[in-house]
Amino acid sequence: MKVCKFGGSSLSDGRQFAKVKSIIESDPDRSIVVVSAPGRRFSKDTKVTDLLYLSHAHLKYDVPFDNVIEMIKERYTAIKNECHLSFDIEGEIDKAFEGVSKKTSVDYIASRGEYLNALLMAEYLGFRFVDAADWMTFKYDGSVDFAKTEEKLKDIVGVYGHIVTPGFYGCLPSGDVKVFSRGGSDITGAIAAASIDAEMYENWTDVSGILMTDPRIVDNPHSIPRVTYAELREMSYMGASVLHEDTVFPVRNKDIPVNIRNTNLPEAPGTIIRERFEENNDIENKRFITGITGVKDFSIVNIYKSHLENKIALLRKVLGICEKFGISVENIPGGVDCFSLVVPTRELKPVKYDFLSALREECTLDDAYVTDGISLIAIVGRQMAYRTGISGKIFAALGENGINIRTIEQSSDEISILVGVYTEDFNKAIRVLYDSFAR
């Protein structure tokens, strides 16, 4: 059995619904369908979930919200008509909002987007509708009750075989609805896949998998065929946004592969995410790297003190001062009588002068000063580990293109190399690296 989660952009109108139907019908193993609320149809459009949060705000401040409900109704009625469905969705919307008041929880209202969409999708596919509140169970403390959730979903799937269920929310022991954080249908899909020991968790979205780099910087980057969780972590930490952070752990624990797919291009194989892959394939062997990501706006705090090698307590003191000022340290490149702290500018900036005087006073330094305008670029790839020549290729590519490298760091598992460059070189550096490894 496969669990298929469809995001808001895959369900924004009747045309998108039709694509989902043909995807589901093309593989009989696609038996559990998890849906988001209708997303944007065009760039200036509003997501139904945002309209729902807006209606809650109206309620809270006693502002009439009939026009917002009308907008929500129009979205579902359009889908119903485009898909020639008969379900009384208008009546269902009226029911959902009947008796809501200031006291109605925001979670209940926000959850209706998924609930209503699942009702329509269930009729469209001819699958059984199952309310998420009937299986996705939270404990009193708000954490997921995995044991109960698993038991309930297994029973339901055992009875109905094929189901459509809303993502994003579940039920507290009190019977109240609770939602995950925004984008949380990804988590519902992962928990469903883990609960029924699915052979695959397919996450259908509007891109053909995870891209090797930022498409705003490189035109049409390749998508990554296969990526490990460790690589993904390095990439998302350094700026790539892919899946909801909490998505991975339920499927990772059970070693269920996650496949990111494109509803608008279903023939593309997308990206498979797994703990490990036995052997590299040809593309991976040719490219060596999996992805290139980066984050802007770091500062380097340069610290000088002669005979640093004898001052064992210095680093502890310096880090203690960082802690006191709430500055997180990204990395610590070093020389003989100097070392540097690479820190986020947004954390350093408001406390910069006090921080520098604390350093100078408490650590009796020879000098300390800050260089701003640094960006970090991560070159990530499990194929880089224990292979010679990769860093040589990175530095040659950057050097030949006149890009100065300000800092260098390699993780000890050798799956990522981090270079710091001036922010004005950031885009160029990513393009140069992409061209030399991925073209």
Binding residues (CB under 6 A) for ligand ASP: these are 8, 36-37, 47, 49, 113, 167-168, 182-186
Per-residue tokens: 137: 């169970």
Per-residue tokens: 109: 């209202």
What is the closest distance, in whole angstroms, from the C-beta atom of residue 336 to ligand ASP in the complex?
A: 51
Evaluated on CA atoms 13, 17, 19, 20, the torsion sign reads: positive
Q: Which of 224, 269, 275, 230 lies closest to 413, judged by CA? A: 230
Closer residue to ligand ASP, CB minimum distance, 185 or 299: 185
Backbone angles phi, psi at 256, to 5 degrees: -95, 125
What is the closest distance, in whole angstroms, from the C-beta atom of residue 39 to ligand ASP in the complex?
A: 7
**Helices 89-97 and 106-125: crossing angle, nearest 10°?**
160
Closer residue to ligand ASP, CB minimum distance, 183 or 420: 183
Closer residue to ligand ASP, CB minimum distance, 8 or 294: 8
What is the closest distance, in whole angstroms, from the C-beta atom of residue 131 to ligand ASP in the complex?
A: 16
Q: Which of 420, 235, 255, 259 lies closest to 332, judged by CA? A: 420
What is the closest distance, in whole angstroms, from the C-beta atom of residue 230 to ligand ASP in the complex?
A: 25
Closer residue to ligand ASP, CB minimum distance, 76 or 168: 168
Cβ-based burial of 75 (10 A; exposed 0-12, middle 13-18, buried ≥19)? buried
| Residue pair 271/225 in contact by the 8 Å Cβ criterion | yes
Closer residue to ligand ASP, CB minimum distance, 167 or 291: 167
What is the closest distance, in whole angstroms, from the C-beta atom of residue 243 to ligand ASP in the complex?
A: 11
What is the closest distance, in whole angstroms, from the C-beta atom of residue 175 to ligand ASP in the complex?
A: 21
Residue type, 304: Y
What is the closest distance, in whole angstroms, from the C-beta atom of residue 8 to ligand ASP in the complex?
A: 5
Closer residue to ligand ASP, CB minimum distance, 144 or 322: 144
How many helices (H) and strands (E) the chain has is answered by 15, 15
What is the closest distance, in whole angstroms, from the C-beta atom of residue 426 to ligand ASP in the complex?
A: 30
Closer residue to ligand ASP, CB minimum distance, 8 or 170: 8
Rounded CA separation 414/164 (Å): 43
Angle, vertex CA 415, rays to CA 410 and CA 419, nearest 5: 40
Closer residue to ligand ASP, CB minimum distance, 38 or 270: 38
Rounded CA separation 377/76 (Å): 43
**SS3 category, 292:** strand
Rounded CA separation 224/172 (Å): 38
What is the closest distance, in whole angstroms, from the C-beta atom of residue 11 to ligand ASP in the complex?
A: 9
What is the closest distance, in whole angstroms, from the C-beta atom of residue 83 to ligand ASP in the complex?
A: 20
Q: How far apart are the first and last CA of the chain?
A: 37
What is the closest distance, in whole angstroms, from the C-beta atom of residue 128 to ligand ASP in the complex?
A: 22
Q: Which of 46, 42, 2 lies closest to 24, judged by CA? A: 2
Rounded CA separation 305/151 (Å): 62
**SS3 category, 327:** coil
Closer residue to ligand ASP, CB minimum distance, 5 or 226: 5
Closer residue to ligand ASP, CB minimum distance, 34 or 380: 34
SS (H, E, C) 75-135: HHHHHHHHCCCCCCHHHHHHHHHCCCCCCCCHHHHHHHHHHHHHHHHHHHHCCEECCHHHC
Rounded CA separation 113/166 (Å): 9
- Please state whether beta strands 200-205 and 2-6 pair in parallel, antiparallel, or not at all (unpaired): parallel
Residue type, 387: R
Residue, CB closest to ligand ASP: 185
What is the closest distance, in whole angstroms, from the C-beta atom of residue 244 to ligand ASP in the complex?
A: 7
Closer residue to ligand ASP, CB minimum distance, 49 or 223: 49
Closer residue to ligand ASP, CB minimum distance, 246 or 414: 246
